[in-house]
Structure 1
Amino acid sequence: MTFANPAYLFLLLLLVPLIAAYVWKLRRSQASMEMSSSEAFDVKGITTAKVRLRHLPFVLRMVAIALVIVILARPQSTDSWQNSSTEGIDIMMAMDISGSMLARDLRPDRLTAAKNVAASFINGRPNDNIGLVVFSGESFTQCPLTTDHAVLLNLFKDIQSGMIEDGTAIGVGLANAVSRIKDSQAKSKVIILLTDGSNNRGEIAPVTAAEIARTFGIRVYTIGVGTQGEAPYPFRLPGGTIQMQMVPVDIDEPTLQQIASITGGQYFRATNNSSLKSIYAEIDKMEKTKISVREFSKKQEEYTRIALVVLGLLLIEWLLRITILKRIP
């Protein structure tokens, strides 16, 4: 048995002065006048039980107080193992953070919408190893594969357009994600690649990166973000004001479809916030792998039984005081 709040056990030291006070009170209550003989007052057989039990209420009260302190310390049992099945895979997210991701056909803009939906996706998969790669003209790893999703989500919040040289290096971003997940021992390895443009930078072609992913058994889901035709984009004027202008939406869908086809994944197009959420929800449903694990059971609170014992002790004390040990003023 362990205790969630073991510091409370030091309160047991309070029993020492309580016991000392009780003993001191008993000594003071002794008769100050002594008699040479008390045979005439011998009532043996009538008060023996009362004499023997006269300290029992105090003992019961001390035990009850001690058990209350133990309850405050929150006793817990952790002595059982259990076999269970859970769902867990390794997922690397490759996200485009180029300047075009600031277009506002998604609300409040493509990048923020993508971050918010991805965060919800991560929160819904607590058993997965998930990492994050970002790319524009270059690529770098924002977070390696981890089950510490709190750290991952904090790093997610930090990404913004302009962190690295602008452009759209889809092949480099995908290759970086592959390098981070290829040595995984998981049965299922997945990359979710999100972009709103066409590959125009980098030394690695997107299809070449897809071939490498297939070699390592990595499935790639590609997401093209952006409405059809044109999208509003914020341009900063010399005076610091923002002016919205319509710009063409240029997504290389054939290449994204080819990447998904080569790796056994699937291509999606997100034209608004709701469709982006639906895409992640669909990926979430498709990527479920059952794995058996043997894990230590959750800690169980054990104070309920002790509380019942405390109530029982207090009840016995009360019954003794109103029956056998009842005092007549």
Structure 2
Amino acid sequence: MRMSDTRAYEFAPTSLRVRLINVPMLLRCLTYTLIVICLARPQSYNAWNKSETEGIDIMLCMDISYSMLSEDVEPDRLEVARDVAADFVSDRPNDNIGLTIFAGEAFTQCPMTTDHASLLNLMRNVNPNLVMSGLIQDGTAIGMGLSNSISRLKDSKAKSRIIILLTDGSNNVGDISPMTAAQMAKTFGIRIYTIGFGTNQMARVPVIVNGQKQYVQQQGEIDYKTLKDIATMTNGNFYRASSRAELSNIYNDIDKLEKSKLSTSSYSKLYDIYQPFAFAALISLLLEILLRMTVFRRIP
């Protein structure tokens, strides 16, 4: 139909059909997009996993008597023992681990905890200053150290409870003998791993004389028999170490023997998820065809 002038229609109201004139084209674009998504073959999966960790309760029982400053192991026995024990703690994040230190007396430096950052911080502060300053008695009270550790473990509900005893001497003070403490540990089902660290030879030990640091030669006296008997009575193991490497290997061996129980179950199923997109594409295409043949039908 030819019109001489369209100004008469300039302000004519716009119908709904005119406003929606581009809907068929939008539906065609949507159909095309959905088909592309289907051809891309989208996939998804269902998965579940279940893990259980059963930690082990461990008390480190460390000798800090003055003889632990002997320098037959560089830089000295105590620093090496402390560093290797710290590595052992770092490798066991799931376990409750505590620290008992002893000389002529024993006390808990850190109760059992899974906060290993705090434990390592307290472990770094372990030194013989308590002995050197006279705050605690010097000597080697192995029985007292074990008793203190046992008191921390006896009420534990863990299936595996162990004590790692490290000393460089023989029991010479204390109200409780090492074998009595071992019998207590056996009663509570606690295993004790004993480590005799250092040698029985002469070793250089620093001493302070008139404010000056000097060195004296001191004979080692590790009671290997008692340490072996303690381990045997409690179904543990006895070890000897005279270097950092040997001590590190011992802790690695204990780490393998006392592994945390960890069980993990996992399941996954992969499947295609193009079907909803294909169904939507079909609906979009049919709707476009329907609109073009009815509401938006054009007369040639």
TM over 0.5: yes
Determine the structure 2 residue equivalent to 1:206: 178
Taking the aligned partners of 1:82 and 1:178, their CA distance within structure 2 comes to 37
**251, 266, 276: which one pairs with 2:247?**
276
2:217 maps to which of 246, 251, 257: 246
- 2:195 is matched with which residue: 220, 223, 233? 223
| Contact 1:213–1:219, Cα closer than 8 Å, also in 2 | yes
Match of 2:92 among 107, 125, 137: 125
Aligned pair partner of 1:104 in 71, 80, 91: 71
What is the CA–CA distance in structure 2 between the aligned matches of 1:177 and 1:81, rounded to whole Å?
40
2:256 corresponds to? 285
> Residues 156-209 of structure 1, C-alpha deviation per residue, up to 9 Å, x if partnerless?
122211322211100011011011101111111000001111101101000010
Residues 209 and 38 from structure 1, CA distance in 2 versus in 1: closer, same or farther, beyond 3 angstroms? farther
Let me know the Cα RMSD of the aligned residues.
2.6
* Higher CA-based Rg: 2
User: Does residue 232 of structure 2 align to residue 261 of structure 1?
Assistant: yes
Q: Give the C-alpha shift of residue 221 in structure 1.
A: 0.2
Residues in 2 aligned to 1:85 and 1:293: alpha-carbon distance in whole angstroms? 7
Q: Residues of 2 paired with 1:293 and 1:89: CA distance?
A: 18
Q: TM-score, normalised by structure 1?
A: 0.64
Deviations 1:102-157 (A, max 9, x none): 11112221111111111110000000011111111111111111111111111112
Paired AA for residue 154 in structure 2:
K
Using the TM superposition, give the Cα deviation of residue 293 of structure 1 relative to its aligned residue in structure 2, in angstroms: 8.3
Does 2:162 match 1:195? Answer: no
1:243 shift after superposition: 2.6
**1:270 offset after TM fit, Å?**
1.2
How many aligned residue pairs are there? 230
Secondary structure at 1:207's aligned position in 2? Answer: helix
CA contact 1:136–1:166 (8 Å) conserved in 2: yes
> Equivalent residue of 1:213, what SS?
helix
The aligned residue for residue 58 of structure 1 is: none
Please name the residue that 1:84 is paired with.
Answer: 51
Mark the CA change 1:85 to 1:200 in structure 2 (over 3 Å): closer, same or farther.
same
Deviation at 1:40, TM superposition (A): 3.9
CA drift at 1:235: 2.2
TM-score, normalising length from structure 2?
A: 0.70
C-alpha distance in structure 1 between counterparts of 2:56 and 2:48, whole Å: 23
- Unaligned residue ranges in structure 2 (runs of 5+): 1-6, 24-46, 131-135, 266-300
Tell me if 1:95 matches 2:101. Answer: no
Q: Please give the alpha-carbon distance, in whole angstroms, between the structure 2 residues aligned to 1:200 and 1:40.
A: 113
1:288 alignment partner AA:
K
Q: CA deviation at 1:48?
A: 4.0
Q: Which moved more, 1:143-152 or 1:204-213?
A: 143-152
Preserved CA contact (<8 Å) 2:106 2:148: yes
> Aligned match of 2:117 in 150, 160, 174?
150
Identity %: 53
Distance 2:196 2:21 in 1: 88
Secondary structure, counterpart of 1:193 in structure 2: strand
Higher relative contact order (CA 8 A, sep 6+): 2
Are positions 1:39 and 2:6 aligned together? Answer: no
In structure 2, distance between residues paired with 1:237 and 1:49: 102
Amino acid at match of 1:290: K
